[in-house]
Structure 1
Amino acid sequence: MAEEGSDDDKSSNEELQDSVEMEITDVPEQLPTAVYEENGSATVAADPVVYPRPPATEEQPTDLERLWKAVHDRPQDFTSWTDLLQYCEQENNVATSRKALEAFLARYPLCYGYWKKFADLERRAGNGSKAEEVCIQGLQAIPLSVDLWIHYINLLLGTLDMNLPDSPMRIRNVFEEAIAATGLDFLSDRLWDLYIEWEKEQGNMRQARAILDRVLQVPTQLYNTHYDKFKTHLNSYEPKEVLSQEEYEELRLLCCQSQETEKDEPAIEETKDSPPGEEQSTTPERADAEELKLKIREMVLTRRDKVYHDNEGEVRKRWQFEEAIKRPYFHVKPLDRLQLCSWHSYLDWEIAQLGNHSTEKGGHSTREEGYEESAQPPEASGSSPVPKDDSRVRILFERCLIACALYEEFWTRYVRYLEPKSVDETRRVFQRACKVYLTNQPNIHMLWATFEERHGDITEARHILEDLEKKLPGLAVLRLRRAALERRAGQLEKSEALLLEAVAESKEKPTLHAFYSIKLSRLLLKLNRNTEGARKILTEALEISPDNDKLHMNLLELELSGDPWASAEAVQDCVKRALAASLTPHSKILLSQRGLQYAEDYSTTIESVVSVYEGHQKLLKDVCGTKRGAEDGDEDPAKLSKTHEGSAVAATMSHVPMATPPPSMAGTDMAQSGYSGYGNWYQPQYSSYGYQNTWNYNQSYYPPSQ
C-alpha cells in the first residue's frame, strides 16, 4: 500500500505498520510556510485555513480551550493538531474528539491512521453505521490505503451477521472493491492474504485458489510467499475440490491419455505370451487415484511455474525503485531531493514499460497473453489483475501523490499524462489538487483554468481564477490571466474593467501601478483603437512615477505609432520629458536615439533633423564625457567603456543582441516584486527593434574638422 513503509525494513508487514504509526506522531514543530523550490518552480506553502474555535463553556477545561486556540491560530502546525487529538482521546470525550477529528481530516485527509481512530471512536460509542460511514469517507479520500481497506473489512466482519445470506456476498464485494483499488500496489500482500484466508474460512477452496491464481500474476513485495501458499493449498485438498471443473477435467483427461500410451505397448506383448484359451483384457488398467492426483498436481504446478518466473522477473525490475522509496506514506515533513528524484525515475520507467508493452502487443508477443493461454483459470477470465492498459502507471501516480501530495510538480505531471486519455479524469485530479492539497498555490490553479478554457468551459475557468484571486489578492499574474480570459472570450469591456480596477487599486504601489497602466494602455491602443485613452493612462501614470523608464518608453512608442504628419512634435516632446526625468543613462540614450531615428525617417526639413541630431550628440557628450559619442563611428566603443559608467551604456548599444525568448513566469509573485519579473515578457525592449548603432556612419551631418 502507498501509505505503508519503513525506512529500515520492508520485508515485514507488521513492522511496516508499526513504523507508520510511529512516523505519524514524529512531526516538526510547525509546517514551514516558506517557499520551496522544486524542479525549478516555486511552491508556495498553503496559507492557514481558519477553523472555527468551539465556544468556551463553564464545563470546558482550560487545557482544551488552549489546544483549540492553538489550532485555530496556527492550523498549519501539525503538532498542535496531534496534541489536541491526543488530549481528546485521553479525556474520552466523544463529541469533542469527533469535532477535532473532522477538522483535522479536512486538512490532512491522507493521514489514514486517524481515519481508523475516528472509525474506532464511533464503534466504541455504539455507532456502527457511523463507523462504516467514516471508513467509506476515508477510502474516498485515500482509496489506495491497504490498511484502511483491511480496517473497514474487519469492521464489517465484526458487525455483520454472517448467518444472513447477503452478508458473505457483501464481504466478497468489498474485497473485490479493495482489490480493484489497491491490488496492483507493490505492497498489497496483506489484503490478498486476508481475502484468501476468508474464502477458506467460508469453505470456498476453489475461490481461494482462483484468488491465488490472480495474485501470482501481480508483482508484489511478497510474491514468493504467494506461490508457496498456492502449493500448500493445492497439496492440502483434493485437486477436484481446488481446481475449476474445466481445468480439472482437462488435466485428468491428459493424465489418463499419457498413462494409456505408456501402458499400451507392454500390454500387447503380455497378451501374445499368454497360454492359449485364456482371455486377456485389451483395456489398459487405470492408474490408481493417488497416482492420478499426483500427476494432476504436477501438471498444475508446471503451468504455474511459468507464471511465477515471469512475475519474478517483473518484481526484479521494480525492486530497485521500491527500495529507493523510504517514505511511501503522507507526512508534512518535506521530502529530500533524492526521494523526489526516485519518484520521478520510477514514473519514467513505468511509463516507458507501458510503451514497450504496446509495441510488443502489436507484434502479438506479450507476456500477459502467454499467461492467459497457459494458466488463466476459466472462471477467472476477464478478471485477471494483469493490466492490459495503463492501470499500473495510474496506480503508481496515485501512490506518488500520497507521499508527494504537497508537491505541485507531481500533480502537474499526472494531469498532463491523463489529459490525452480522459478529460473527466483529468478534471477530477485537478479538483483534488486545487481544492484539498494545493489550495493556495497559483500555478496549478492557473493550469486548471487553462484546461477548462481549452475544453470549452469558460465559466468554470473564470470561477477558478476569481476564487484564487480572493485567496491571493494582489497577485498581478492572476489579474492579467483574468483580463486575458475575458479578452479571448470576446468580452473586451470586462477585460478593460479588470485592468482599470487594478490600476485604481495599485496607486499606493507606484511600480505595480505603472505595470498595470502599461497593460491597460496597450489594450486601449491595440484593441479598442483608443489612442487618447491610452495616452491619458500613461500620462497619469507618469504623474505618479515620473522616473519610470518603462512608462516613458511606452508613451514614446504610442506617439511613434501615430500619424507621422501629426506626431512629430509629440514625439520630440515625449523625448524631452524623458530626458528631463531622473532616468538611467542607458534609458535616456535609447529614448533619444528613437527620437533621432523618427526625425530621420519622417521630418520634412533638414533643419529639424539637424536640431534633433545636435541634441542627441550633446546628450552623448554629457553622458560619455567625450567630444564625440560612440555612435559617430570615430571612437572605439571598447575605449569609451573604460572612461565612464555612462559611456559603457553607449558603447554597448553597438553590440545589442536581438530579443531573446522571455523567461518563464512560473512562481513569480507580482504582489511582492512589482513587475520586475515580467520585464522581458511584457515590456518593450528597444534594443530588439534593430536600432543597433544606427548612427554609426563614416561621417556625420557635418563634415570632419580641417
Structure 2
Amino acid sequence: MPLPPPNPPPRAATGQPPPPPSPRSPPPAVEPPQEPPPVPAEEPPPTYPMDFEKFWLAAQSNPHDFTAWTELLQFVEQENHLLAARKAFDAFFSHYPYCYGYWKKYADMERRFECARETEEVFERGLQSIPLSMDLWIHYISYLQSTLDMNLPESIQKIRGVFEAAVAAAGMDFRSDKLWELYVEWEREQGDLRAVTGIYDRVLSMPTQLYNHHWEKFKEHVLHNPPKDILSPEELLWVQSKLATDPVPKPPEPEGTEAPPGEDLPPGVEGKGAAAANAQEDLDQEKIRELVISMRQQIYAQNEAEVSKRWNFEDGIKRPYFHVKPLERAQLRNWRDYLDYEMAAGSHERTIVLFERCVIACALYEEFWIKYTKYLENHTVTGARSVFQRACGYHLPRKPNIHLLWAAFEEKQGNVEEARRILRCFEEVVPGLAMVRLRRVSLERRHGNLEQAEALLTEAMEANEGLPLASFYAVKLARQACKVQKNLGKARKVLVEALEKEPDNARLHANLLEMEFGADVRQNEGNTMRCFERALRSPLPDEAKVVFSQRRVEFLEDFGSSIHSLLTAYDEHQKILKQHAARKRAPENGSEEPEDKRLRPDDGSGLGGGPIGFPSGGDVASSPSYSYWYQHGYGSYSYQSPWNYNQYYPQT
C-alpha cells in the first residue's frame, strides 16, 4: 500500500512571488538579506529486507511464473516486513486475484501490525475479486466478531449486513452450506428466532450439498420453539385462520376431580375446565407446527429434485478453486456439460453463479470466458463488458482470441475508439501476431479509414522485411489496393517490389497472376503474360514452373489474341516438361537433388506438384472452368502430336 504523501510545504516555499507593492505606498525599508527558508526534505524511499530485491525481480521478470510469486510472498511473510508485504501482495493480486488463501494471509499480516482500516480494506478488495469464496467471507466475519464491540447496536447491524452480503453473493453456490449454518447460529445467538426462520426459508429453496441437513435442522427449530416466537405476526395469523376454517376434533376430556355444586376444589387440584383448556392450547400449538412444516414440505421436495439433477455434475468437480496447474480433461468436459445444462434448464441467476464458479477453477482457459461473454451478451451488455475486462485484464492478458472478441464486441456496440484501443494495447503486449494486425486493418477499412488501413499494412510489411510475413502482408496490401481502392497499378507495384526481394516466392507469383487475371483479359493480356514470364525466369522450383507454364498455355488458348504466342508458349512448355522429366530421372544415376532444394507438399510457397494454390477466394485452380481440365484423366504427356490437348491439360 503506498505511503501517504508528505505534508505540503509552507506557503513561502511554494515558489509563488509575493504580491507587488501598491504604487501609492512608500517604498519598503531596506532590510538585510535573509536566508531562504529550508526546503522540506523528501521522505527517503522505503527500505526493504535484504534479498527482497532478488525475489522481487524474479517475479517481475516473468509475471506468469507462479512459483516465483509464491517464493516472494513466502519471503515477506517470514521477514514480517509490512511495507515489503504490501508491495508484494498488491503486485501478486494484479495477476492472480482468485487466490483466496493469499488474501487471508495479507489481511492477517495487516492485523498483526494492528492496521484495522487496512485490514478491512484488504478483506473488501479480496471479496470484490472473488465474491464466491466461502472461506474468505467466513474469515472476514470472524474478524469482525472478534474486533467489534458486540454490545453496540451498530456492531450487530454491521455483522448482519456482512452476512446478508455474503449470502447474496455466494448463497446460491452448491457448497455454501457452511455460510448458511454460520448465519443461522449467529442469529440464534442474538435471540432472533424469527430471523432464523427467515434464513431457513431462503436456504430450503437453494440446491446445496447439505440440503437435507438444513431441512432436519429447520424441523427441530419449529418443534422446539413456540410458534409465536419463530413466525412473523402475519404468518402466525394466517396459520391460525387456516386452522379455524378446518376445525379439528376436540380431544376427549380428561377425567378429573369435580367439586359438587357450591363447593371449591381443594388447593392443588385442577378442574376439568382448566385441564381441557391447556390440552386444547397444546393441540393448537402442535397443529400450527404441523402446518408450518407441511407448507415447506413441498418446497423441500422441489429442491431435492433440483439437487438430484445437479448431483453428478457437482460430484465431477474435483478442484473448485483456482490453480495454475492444468485441469484434467474429464473435469473440463464436466464443466462444459454442466454449463450447457444450467443454461438450458436453470434460472439466469443460477447460470451466472455457475459461470462465476467455473471461471475461478478454469480461469486460464479461454473457452470458458468466451462462453460466459456470449451468454451475457444476450442479457446485459454491461455484464459482458465486465467479464471481458476481467478476463483480458487479469487472467488472459496474452490470449489473442478473447481480445479480438472483446474488440469486436465494442465495435458492435458502437465504441469504435475503445475497439481500437483494445487491439493497439494488445499488440503492444504481444507484438507480431498477424491476426491482430489484420483485425486492426479491417477495423479501419470498415469505418472508411483506408489510409490508416494501408499504413498499418505497410508498417507491418516493413517491420517483417526478410521474413515470410513480409510477403504475407504484401499480398494483403495489394489486395486492398486492387479490390477496395480499385487501383490495379498500385497493387501491381506492391507485388512486383515484393518479388524483387523474394523472386523465389511462389505465393507472390501466384497472387500477382490471380490479380492480373481478375482484370479485363482483353485489355490486360500484356500484364498477364509478363507475370507468366517473370515466374518462368525466376529461381522457382521445377514443379512450380511446370504449373505456371501450364497456366500460360491454358490462358493463351482461352483468351490469347495471337496464335504465334500460343505456339511459342506450347513449344516452351514442352522444353520445360522434358527438363523436368530429365531431372526426375537424375536421382537414378546418383545425382539426386539435395533435400533442402526440393519443394515439399507442406512448402509455404503454396505450390506443390499440382495446381497453384491461391490463398483465399480467387483460386484459378478451383474455378470450374479450370478444374474441369485437371480433374479428369486425360492421360500422360505425349510429345508426338502437337495438338493433343492432353499435352496442354494433363492430369498433374
TM-score when normalising by structure 1: 0.73
- Note if 1:307 corresponds to 2:299: yes
> Cα distance, 1:287 vs. partner?
5.1
- Note if 1:622 corresponds to 2:599: no
Question: 1:119·1:131 contact (CA, 8 Å) conserved in 2?
Answer: yes
For residue 481 of structure 2, the aligned residue among 524, 533, 540 is 524
The one-letter amino acid of 1:500's match is: T
Q: Give the match for residue 364 of structure 2.
A: 406
Q: Give the match for residue 320 of structure 2.
A: 328
Q: 1:286 to 1:197 in 2, by over 3 A?
A: closer
> Cα distance, 1:524 vs. partner?
1.0
- Distance between the aligned counterparts of 2:212 and 2:538, measured in 1? 80
- Note if 1:538 corresponds to 2:495: yes
Q: Give the match for residue 689 of structure 1.
A: 623
Q: Give the match for residue 95 of structure 2.
A: 107
Q: 1:617 to 1:232 in 2, by over 3 A?
A: same
Question: 2:49·2:81 contact (CA, 8 Å) conserved in 1?
Answer: no
Q: Give the match for residue 228 of structure 1.
A: 216
For residue 160 of structure 2, the aligned residue among 160, 172, 188 is 172
Question: 1:610·1:701 contact (CA, 8 Å) conserved in 2?
Answer: no
- Distance between the aligned counterparts of 1:170 and 1:534, measured in 2? 70
Question: 1:482·1:495 contact (CA, 8 Å) conserved in 2?
Answer: yes
Secondary structure of 1:572's aligned partner: helix
Question: 1:132·1:155 contact (CA, 8 Å) conserved in 2?
Answer: no
> Cα distance, 1:228 vs. partner?
1.7
Secondary structure of 1:131's aligned partner: helix
Question: 2:250·2:280 contact (CA, 8 Å) conserved in 1?
Answer: no
Q: 1:494 to 1:342 in 2, by over 3 A?
A: same
String of CA shifts for 1:664-702, please: whole Å, max 9, x gaps.
Answer: xxxxxxxxxxxxxxx875475432123126498899764
Instruction: Tell which has more relative contact order, 1 or 2 (C-alpha 8 A, sep 6+).
Output: 1
> Cα distance, 1:615 vs. partner?
2.5
- Distance between the aligned counterparts of 1:181 and 1:127, measured in 2? 27
Q: Give the match for residue 344 of structure 1.
A: 336
> Cα distance, 1:448 vs. partner?
0.8
Q: Give the match for residue 133 of structure 2.
A: 145
- Distance between the aligned counterparts of 1:468 and 1:680, measured in 2? 31
The one-letter amino acid of 1:176's match is: E
- Distance between the aligned counterparts of 1:703 and 1:123, measured in 2? 94
- Note if 1:130 corresponds to 2:118: yes
- Note if 1:464 corresponds to 2:422: yes
For residue 437 of structure 2, the aligned residue among 479, 494, 500 is 479
Q: Give the match for residue 501 of structure 1.
A: 459
Q: Give the match for residue 580 of structure 1.
A: 537
Q: 1:335 to 1:527 in 2, by over 3 A?
A: same
The one-letter amino acid of 1:123's match is: R
String of CA shifts for 1:223-265, please: whole Å, max 9, x gaps.
Answer: 11111211221122211110122222222334455445x249x
- Distance between the aligned counterparts of 2:185 and 2:336, measured in 1? 36
Question: What are the residue-to-residue correspondences of 1:343-492 with 2, within 5 Å?
Answer: 343-354=335-346, 389-492=347-450
> Cα distance, 1:57 vs. partner?
9.5
For residue 470 of structure 2, the aligned residue among 499, 507, 513 is 513
- Distance between the aligned counterparts of 1:187 and 1:454, measured in 2? 38
- Note if 1:613 corresponds to 2:603: no
Question: What are the residue-to-residue correspondences of 1:160-199 with 2, within 5 Å?
Answer: 160-199=148-187
Q: 1:591 to 1:128 in 2, by over 3 A?
A: same
Secondary structure of 2:218's aligned partner: helix
Question: 2:511·2:614 contact (CA, 8 Å) conserved in 1?
Answer: no
Secondary structure of 1:79's aligned partner: helix
- Note if 1:116 corresponds to 2:104: yes
- Distance between the aligned counterparts of 1:528 and 1:258, measured in 2? 86
Larger displacement relative to structure 2 (132-141 or 586-595): 586-595
> Cα distance, 1:66 vs. partner?
3.0
String of CA shifts for 1:134-175, please: whole Å, max 9, x gaps.
Answer: 111111111111111122222233333334443333322222
- Distance between the aligned counterparts of 1:393 and 1:703, measured in 2? 69
- Distance between the aligned counterparts of 2:619 and 2:509, measured in 1? 13
| Structural RMSD (CA) | 3.1
Question: 1:590·1:686 contact (CA, 8 Å) conserved in 2?
Answer: no
Question: 1:550·1:683 contact (CA, 8 Å) conserved in 2?
Answer: no
- Distance between the aligned counterparts of 1:332 and 1:58, measured in 2? 32
Question: What are the residue-to-residue correspondences of 1:548-559 with 2, within 5 Å?
Answer: 548-559=505-516
> Cα distance, 1:81 vs. partner?
2.1
Secondary structure of 2:110's aligned partner: helix
Question: 1:503·1:517 contact (CA, 8 Å) conserved in 2?
Answer: yes
Secondary structure of 2:181's aligned partner: helix
> Cα distance, 1:545 vs. partner?
0.8
> Cα distance, 1:519 vs. partner?
0.8
The one-letter amino acid of 2:57's match is: K
- Distance between the aligned counterparts of 1:194 and 1:286, measured in 2? 37
Secondary structure of 2:524's aligned partner: helix
Looking at CA atoms only, which structure, 1 or 2, has the larger radius of gyration?
Answer: 2
Q: 1:263 to 1:137 in 2, by over 3 A?
A: closer
String of CA shifts for 1:356-400, please: whole Å, max 9, x gaps.
Answer: xxxxxxxxxxxxxxxxxxxxxxxxxxxxxxxxx411111111000
String of CA shifts for 1:531-569, please: whole Å, max 9, x gaps.
Answer: 222111111111111111111112222332344454333
Secondary structure of 1:288's aligned partner: helix
String of CA shifts for 1:514-538, please: whole Å, max 9, x gaps.
Answer: 1111111111111222222211111
- Note if 1:293 corresponds to 2:281: no
Question: 1:110·1:402 contact (CA, 8 Å) conserved in 2?
Answer: yes
> Cα distance, 1:411 vs. partner?
0.5
Q: Give the match for residue 367 of structure 1.
A: none
Q: 1:73 to 1:562 in 2, by over 3 A?
A: closer
Secondary structure of 1:192's aligned partner: helix
Q: 1:555 to 1:680 in 2, by over 3 A?
A: closer
- Distance between the aligned counterparts of 1:327 and 1:425, measured in 2? 26
Q: Give the match for residue 641 of structure 1.
A: none
Q: Give the match for residue 43 of structure 1.
A: none
> Cα distance, 1:333 vs. partner?
1.0
- Distance between the aligned counterparts of 2:510 and 2:128, measured in 1? 56
- Note if 1:211 corresponds to 2:199: yes
String of CA shifts for 1:579-626, please: whole Å, max 9, x gaps.
Answer: 222324443233223322332233333222222233233333433469
- Distance between the aligned counterparts of 1:556 and 1:295, measured in 2? 92
> Cα distance, 1:414 vs. partner?
0.7
String of CA shifts for 1:278-309, please: whole Å, max 9, x gaps.
Answer: xxx9xx97852222111211222222222222
Aligned residues with identical type, % of pairs: 48
String of CA shifts for 1:165-211, please: whole Å, max 9, x gaps.
Answer: 43333322222221111111001011111111121122211011110
For residue 68 of structure 1, the aligned residue among 56, 61, 69 is 56
String of CA shifts for 1:91-133, please: whole Å, max 9, x gaps.
Answer: 2211111221111122211001111111122222222121111
- Distance between the aligned counterparts of 1:570 and 1:491, measured in 2? 30
Q: 1:171 to 1:59 in 2, by over 3 A?
A: closer
For structure 2, which runs of at least 5 residues remain unmatched after alignment? 1-43, 254-272, 584-597, 602-606, 646-652
For structure 1, which runs of at least 5 residues remain unmatched after alignment? 1-55, 268-280, 355-388, 627-644, 660-678
The one-letter amino acid of 1:513's match is: A
Q: 1:685 to 1:588 in 2, by over 3 A?
A: farther
Question: What are the residue-to-residue correspondences of 1:8-23 with 2, within 5 Å?
Answer: none
